[in-house]
Chains A and B, each alone.
Chain A
């Protein structure tokens, strides 16, 4: 029902998420933001079961901020991703597992941009592009075909638009708008919301 996508470039990461907050068959909100800012250069995109998403994401968010307060410097994206995965794994075999699917995108001074894919079984993979949700079935092959490791920002946005077009054409649900953000060495930039035009 929900959709997350991330594309990593040579010096940036582009991420997008849909804006629908639904409860059974009703869209309760059309402008819901599924991205959580962990630090100046790290974003966590979180979808999944209703309360778990916000609860887990905010827990990670506060812990990352606490680390910065205690130690004076921020966690790197890779460390944050592993921390997140560890928490997911710890709760997995408890009585209250978190049923969430995540994308963590960040920019590190030394390692450059990074996109990490995590799912509710606490798998972690660093990937050049990734997507979550039913929409992923439709768009991963597009990403496969057109992705190049050295794509520019404009090319990444075009690729994203292609994916959204495909969703609009073939996906049974109407996801009419997407929040788009770009992370690079200067931090997190909000980009224009993409909306699926008429079919």
Chain B
């Protein structure tokens, strides 16, 4: 806290009298923000301390510091987003929109909501942007420490449990984090974390080279299908055996409320009901990678169409045993216009077919009449 020292933040704390009755809007059952401050946010695994009441050395985290006691936000936080993650036979797909909104304003149309934690784990974030950024960094740090101490990667479920435990002391405060951890649990015997990281890095490198081509217009299936299928072949040779108890694709949802769920399809955010509708309809375990990518893209696209707080672009990540691959960000506005064009074309074609049919029917009738007249 160098800035704090430079500004002389601590110097005048002695003069401020202790403030015992703090206005608390949320009712007595919930912690006030000052009480939250006493639970030093950097001691995650320690239980909440009781407020001792005496202040020998007032610190920034002291409850007697009235400026921190009530948070007056000038604006209302909104949790508008569409993120989703699902598993299938070919790994895990994580997809999200890129709109960061704040009430009626789009703060950032190109934010990144999916952040890689390590070579085999990605976290999709929703809720308060600042909280998500912070907690994602904290989780990355803790996972890296675990990896260094235990010489193996923490599983996705383990990471979810860790994050859930770290968030628990902040339950009842205004921390709002709803993340989906999408990743692949590796087999420790076959791939040590070093080789796994190397392979992951190699994979990312090859994908970056491949995905420089802009995404061409196409229907729901991925435009890079040729590129991806060629790289897919090379993965198939090396891909670990399919789903066992200790390895395989995993998706886990963690919320600052404390909810922690493992599943096959998870979608979070204001656009999630729309996404669920598309995912539930199209998901099968046996999907190919292209189908899965297409499904994820479609789900985010539909959600961004109906939900005001989701939109702009879509990010897609695909995680397999060998690491994660990222697809280029795609603007959904173009997809919307492409779909309109397709719909117009389809209507024209159907009109043509209908006319053909009618002509054919008329011709048939004319023939019949002729033959009838002909007889007479």
Give the B-binding residues of A (Cβ under 8 A).
21, 23, 25-26, 28-29, 32, 49-52, 54-55, 95-97
B257's nearest neighbour on chain A, judged by CB, is A50
A27's nearest neighbour on chain B, judged by CB, is B276
Q: In whole angstroms, what is the CA distance A96 to B164 when docked?
A: 16
Chain A residues whose C-beta falls within 8 Å of the C-beta of B29 in the assembled complex: 95, 97
| B253 interfacial by beta-carbon distance below 8 Å | yes
Chain B residues whose C-beta falls within 8 Å of the C-beta of A96 in the assembled complex: 31, 48, 171-172
B171's nearest neighbour on chain A, judged by CB, is A51
| B305 interfacial by beta-carbon distance below 8 Å | no
Q: A28-B261, A96-B31 are in contact. Are A50 and B255 (CB under 8 A)?
A: yes
Chain B residues whose C-beta falls within 8 Å of the C-beta of A55 in the assembled complex: 168, 258
30 contacts between A and B (CB under 8 A): A21-B259, A23-B255, A23-B259, A25-B273, A26-B272, A26-B276, A28-B261, A28-B263, A28-B266, A29-B261, A49-B257, A50-B255, A50-B257, A50-B258, A51-B164, A51-B168, A51-B255, A51-B257, A51-B258, A51-B259, A51-B260, A52-B171, A54-B260, A55-B168, A55-B258, A95-B29, A95-B31, A96-B31, A96-B48, A96-B171
Determine the main DSSP class of A at the interface with B: mixed
Give the A-binding residues of B (Cβ under 8 A).
29-31, 35, 48, 164, 168, 171-172, 253, 255, 257-261, 263, 266, 272-273, 276
Q: Give the shortest distance, in Å, between B84 (CB) and chain A (any CB).
A: 12
Chain B residues whose C-beta falls within 8 Å of the C-beta of A21 in the assembled complex: 259, 261
With most chain B CB atoms within 10 A of its CB, the pick from A21, A49, A52, A95 is A95
Task: Assess the A95–B261 pair: CB atoms within 8 A.
Answer: no
Q: In whole angstroms, what is the CA distance A49 to B256 when docked?
A: 12
Q: Give the shortest distance, in Å, between B217 (CB) and chain A (any CB).
A: 33
Q: Give the shortest distance, in Å, between A170 (CB) and chain B (any CB).
A: 26
Q: In whole angstroms, what is the CA distance A52 to B168 when docked?
A: 9
Q: In whole angstroms, what is the CA distance A53 to B278 when docked?
A: 31
Q: Give the shortest distance, in Å, between B264 (CB) and chain A (any CB).
A: 9
Chain A residues whose C-beta falls within 8 Å of the C-beta of B168 in the assembled complex: 51, 55
Chain A residues whose C-beta falls within 8 Å of the C-beta of B276 in the assembled complex: 26
Q: Give the shortest distance, in Å, between B73 (CB) and chain A (any CB).
A: 22
Task: Assess the A28–B253 pair: CB atoms within 8 A.
Answer: yes
Q: In whole angstroms, what is the CA distance A49 to B253 when docked?
A: 16
Chain A residues whose C-beta falls within 8 Å of the C-beta of B253 in the assembled complex: 28
Chain B residues whose C-beta falls within 8 Å of the C-beta of A95 in the assembled complex: 29-31, 35, 48, 172
Chain A residues whose C-beta falls within 8 Å of the C-beta of B171 in the assembled complex: 51-52, 96
B178's nearest neighbour on chain A, judged by CB, is A23
Chain B residues whose C-beta falls within 8 Å of the C-beta of A26 in the assembled complex: 272-273, 276
Chain A residues whose C-beta falls within 8 Å of the C-beta of B260 in the assembled complex: 51, 54
Task: Assess the A50–B259 pair: CB atoms within 8 A.
Answer: yes
B262's nearest neighbour on chain A, judged by CB, is A29
Q: A26-B273, A95-B48 are known contacts; what are 19 more A-B pairs with Cβ within 8 Å? A: A21-B259, A21-B261, A23-B255, A25-B273, A26-B276, A49-B258, A50-B257, A50-B259, A51-B171, A51-B255, A51-B257, A51-B258, A51-B259, A52-B171, A54-B260, A95-B30, A96-B171, A96-B172, A97-B29
